């Protein structure tokens, strides 16, 4: 029996964990989300694996050995039934764990262990939870493992016929929403099977004919799927396992064979639902909330909402990390230690780094959303750096204003002791007749110098983005100041 955490009891509690938090209950018996899946993903070092992970979910009858199969197959430690006390409900709600295969795994695998169907404890309410958990599993999982006893094949309830019908109906609904929905691997784990009883190929044909294909004929299909087959929506595999207690050595060999097959060919090369690992927690919890509210589950909308949430979250994190660099640069500008050219280079470096950091994570989500929020990020960078630009251009403005005043003074101030009253070598009346034109020319020159400096503060990024800043207020202030200098000074 798997070890429980120190504070756990044989009865499921909200937020219960197993094996020092490696396995957590994410949905409790009442259908409430009771775990911080995002924190758990980070603790398991899964948040940064991108799409390089898989999800497998096991469904089946209560006390049929679902948890023990996942424990054996993926080296997990889900709680299993204590046979000394007889058959009873062990897994309650939905549990989540990660494989314990370590370096031997082709990619990390999230294992979802779902409460068994046909539960005596749930009574008449069981069908609601069974439907919800099946829908939840199909929205999330690469592989749906249906655990069934060999001797139950042919029975309606014990073989999971009703559950499989629900699974196929739900999957059809998901495909109807989005035709490029990835196919789910439907893996039948036939327990307590032996080759001497029935060859596995015969078992496979029986499950295909009397379960998968028969259910497909029974369920109502939209017109677009009238000529489709169930194998357009599912990949289909059947695997047999010897009796775990009567023939343990063969059981271990069967488990090892499936584990190897999973690693080499059955598992998708990346998560088929196209949800990055850092968004899995948000996606899973939002999917369950929609299901629980009995609202129509719209996977494309859920993925778009996830993309908006995560891209905005990534953008906010990137902008927050700019604070120290902006403050340091602002201090240098205030001390006059950075000119426009140096600032422009700094801006390119900082903005390019921020953009790369954003795209590293956000590019895994819907392209339209990623690009839209990218534009917001660039605007955020401009807003964060605008005070630095204002400070830099204030220095430029002061320098230009001083040069303007020097030229104006030298051109229109009479030299001391000049009895002829000439201005810059010209008679006073001739010089002052040209005063307005000359002053206007000096002002235009000052404005052009300012605009050139402001333009030098902008930056072109490698992806074609252009960062520029609002300079009108500083320019208008300088213009008013220089026009005030036009007043005669003699």
pLDDT tens for residues 102-161?
877 889 999 999 987 766 665 556 678 888 888 899 899 999 999 999 988 877 766 778
Report the CATH fold assignment for 17-296: Rossmann fold (3.40.50)
pLDDT of residue 459: 86
Which residue's structure tokens are 């960062």? 467
What are the CA-CA distances from residue 19 to residues 24, 56, 100 (Å)? 9, 20, 11
pLDDT of residue 426: 57
pLDDT tens for residues 255-287?
999 999 999 999 999 999 999 999 999 999 999
pLDDT tens for residues 61-72?
777 789 999 999
Low-confidence ranges of the chain (pLDDT < 50): 1-13, 84-88, 416-420, 489-490
pLDDT of residue 321: 93
pTM of the model: 0.78
pLDDT of residue 413: 57
pLDDT of residue 433: 55
User: What gap in Å lies between CA 88 and CA 401, rounded to an integer?
Assistant: 87
pLDDT of residue 11: 39
Domain extents for the chain? Answer: 17-296, 308-485
pLDDT of residue 436: 66
């Amino acid at each position: 029996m798997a070890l429980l955490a120190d504070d756990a009891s044989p009865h499921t509690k909200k937020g219960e964990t197993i094996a020092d938090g490696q396995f957590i209950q994410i949905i409790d018996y009442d259908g409430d989300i009771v775990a911080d899946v995002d924190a758990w993903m980070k603790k398991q070092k899964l948040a940064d694996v991108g799409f390089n992970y898989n999800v497998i979910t096991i469904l089946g009858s209560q006390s049929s050995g679902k948890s023990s199969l996942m424990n054996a197959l993926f080296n997990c430690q889900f709680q299993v039934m204590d046979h000394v006390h007889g058959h009873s409900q062990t897994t309650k709600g939905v549990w989540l764990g990660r494989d314990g295969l370590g370096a031997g795994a082709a990619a990390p695998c999230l294992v979802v262990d779902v409460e068994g169907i046909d539960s005596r404890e749930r009574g008449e309410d069981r069908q609601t939870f069974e439907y919800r958990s099946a829908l939840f599993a199909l929205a999330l999982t690469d592989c749906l493992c249906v655990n069934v006893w060999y001797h139950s094949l042919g029975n309606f309830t014990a073989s999971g016929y009703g559950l499989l019908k629900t699974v196929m109906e739900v999957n059809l609904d998901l495909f109807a929403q989005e035709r490029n929905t990835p196919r789910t691997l439907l893996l039948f784990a036939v327990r307590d099977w032996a080759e001497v009883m029935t060859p596995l190929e015969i078992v496979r044909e029986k499950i295909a004919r009397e379960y998968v294909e028969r259910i497909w004929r029974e369920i109502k299909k939209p017109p677009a799927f009238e000529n489709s087959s169930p194998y357009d929506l599912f990949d289909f595999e059947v695997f047999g396992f010897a009796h775990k207690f009567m023939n343990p050595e063969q059981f271990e060999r069967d488990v090892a064979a499936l584990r190897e097959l999973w690693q080499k060919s059955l598992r998708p090369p990346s998560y088929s639902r196209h949800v990055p690992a850092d968004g899995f927690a948000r996606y899973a919890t939002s999917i369950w909330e929609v299901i629980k509210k009995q609202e129509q589950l719209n996977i494309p909308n859920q993925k778009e909402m996830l993309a908006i949430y995560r891209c905005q979250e990534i953008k906010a994190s990137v902008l927050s990390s700019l604070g120290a660099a902006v403050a340091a640069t602002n201090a240098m500008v205030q001390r006059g230690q950075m000119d426009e050219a140096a600032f422009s280079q700094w801006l390119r470096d900082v903005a390019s780094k921020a953009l790369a950091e954003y795209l590293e994570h956000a590019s895994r989500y819907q392209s339209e959303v990623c690009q839209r929020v990218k534009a917001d990020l660039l605007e955020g960078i401009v807003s964060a750096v605008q005070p630095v630009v204002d400070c830099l251009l204030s220095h430029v403005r002061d320098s230009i204003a001083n040069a303007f005043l020097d030229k104006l003074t030298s051109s229109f101030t009479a030299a001391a002791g000049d009895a002829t009253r000439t201005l810059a070598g010209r008679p006073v009346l001739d010089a002052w007749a040209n005063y307005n034109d000359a002053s206007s020319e000096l002002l235009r020159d000052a404005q052009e110098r300012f605009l050139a400096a402001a333009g030098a503060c902008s930056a072109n990024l490698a992806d074609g983005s252009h960062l520029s800043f609002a300079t009108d207020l500083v320019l208008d202030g300088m213009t008013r100041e220089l026009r005030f200098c036009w007043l005669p000074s003699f």
